[in-house]
Amino acid sequence: MPVGRTAATGPHVLRQMNVAAVLSALREAGTAGVSGLASSTGLSRPAVTRALAGLRDRGLVEFTAAGGTQQHGRPAQYARFRAEAGHIAGIDIGARKVLVMIADLAGQVLTTRRATVRAGAAGPEVFDTVRSALTDAAAEAGVRLSGLWAVSVGTPGIVDRSRGEVLLAPSIPGWAGLPVVPLLREWLHCPVSIDNDVNLAVLGERWQGVAADADSLVFVQWGRRIGTGIIINGMPYRGSSGAAGELGFIDLTTGLDSTPRSRPADGTGPFERLVGAAAIRGLALRAGAPAGSGEDDIAPLFEAAAAGDRAAAEVVELVAARFARGLSALLLLLDPGRVVIGGGVTRAGDTLLEPVRRHLALHTLTPVQVSASTLGERAVAIGAVRHALDVAEERMMTPPAG
């Protein structure tokens, strides 16, 4: 707490704390009785009843009898959280796609809309795709855009969250500097926030993924680009400038006495050029192992390795050794105990992850649990939904005017 400030105290603060506790318990249960809520929150029945009445006045609770019949007047025995009272949106923006999720106030996703971004599209065109995809998703869910309570956006690159602006985004030309958040706020008239996509993905993994409720967690997005989202002691860690977790820029190969290298035109980092999807395909081609026709198509390599192809297996072993060496630098510093790996490369499953685990054990001092993401390409959008829900909670806790 800053020096010179004291915590707010008094009956109104206690009432707000009670409302928050009851709201949290009721959102989790959906429908609950006063006795059940008193038990789960540790509050007295009168305190629970007062909190429920306040939530009813905010349109968030309706009272029903045991049979589900709505009652008017004095609160009945059962309360239902009205998740349909408001809606939020989570948006994942990438160089090749825009993914939009519309959810209710319980976090139930009502619709998911995926739009393709034209190859090489610049920032303004990508933004137009976002507007179109969000409009279509809201229409599909039967939700008015003007009725959204909060919108959270995930984007590649380094983000200034306070200004709502992307500072650096090598994968999308003309995206950096575009005032994404002000433009969306002006259009939607609701709170809009923006964050690095992998920072949101780690929230999604901790909320609904394989590492649900992990206290500390590193999420690695491994495709053509490589980045990490970090949660330490339950809190996201972004760094002083929002650039924490840029694993793709770790340099494992340049000698200390060599001439500094200039950054490639595509903005890829040294580690991405070493073990990114395009680099893996290049290794496969040079080794005479199977590789797909596209620049990032490495599925044939892993299929061949799983089938016992020696050249393919050697490439996979090399990739795993390189990746583990780079990742271990992060794990030795953070000691998260849990790593979730997502992105296109992880479609290889244990064909790749098993040698990664084996090599990591050679570089780390304590065991680390390594799992493949179960959320797939939905991780960022799900994390955006989670963050938008957190923002919407502020409105849920605000008493009605008058």
Which fold would CATH assign to domain 11-81?
Answer: Arc Repressor Mutant, subunit A (1.10.10)
12 — pLDDT class (breaks 50, 70, 90)? confident
Least confident of 4-13, 133-142, 181-190: 4-13
Comparing 368 with 171, the larger pLDDT belongs to 368
DSSP 280-342: HHHHHHHHT----SSTT--HHHHHHHHTT-HHHHHHHHHHHHHHHHHHHHHHHHH--SEEEEE
pLDDT at 382: 97
Helices marked H in 58-179 — which ranges?
123-141
Structure-model confidence comparison of residues 258 and 324, the more confident one: 324
**C-alpha to C-alpha distance for 180 and 171, rounded to whole angstroms:** 16
Establish whether domains 11-81 and 85-202+381-396 are of one fold.
no
Q: Name the fold adopted by 211-374.
A: Nucleotidyltransferase; domain 5 (3.30.420)
Q: Write down the mean pLDDT value for the chain.
A: 89
User: Is residue 73 very low, low, confident or very high in pLDDT (cuts 50, 70, 90)?
Assistant: low
Enter the tokens of residue 251: 């340099």
Look at residue 168 in the predicted model and tell me its pLDDT: 87
More confident site: 65 or 44: 44
pLDDT in tens, 273-328: 999 999 999 999 999 999 888 878 899 999 999 999 999 999 999 999 999 999 99
Please give the model's pTM, rounded to 2 decimal places: 0.87
Regarding predicted confidence, which is higher, 74 or 237? 237
pLDDT of residue 4: 42
Q: Is the pLDDT of residue 66 over 80?
A: no
Tell whether domain 85-202+381-396 is in CATH 3.90.1150.10: no
Alpha helices in 145-298 (DSSP H): 180-188, 197-208, 270-275, 277-287
- How many CB atoms neighbour CB 186 within 10 A? 10
Question: And the tokens for 125?
Answer: 């065109």
* Of 60-74, 118-132, 270-284, 347-361, minimum mean pLDDT range: 60-74
Q: How many CB atoms lie within 10 A of CB 59?
A: 12
Q: Give residue limits of the domains in the chain.
A: 11-81, 85-202+381-396, 211-374
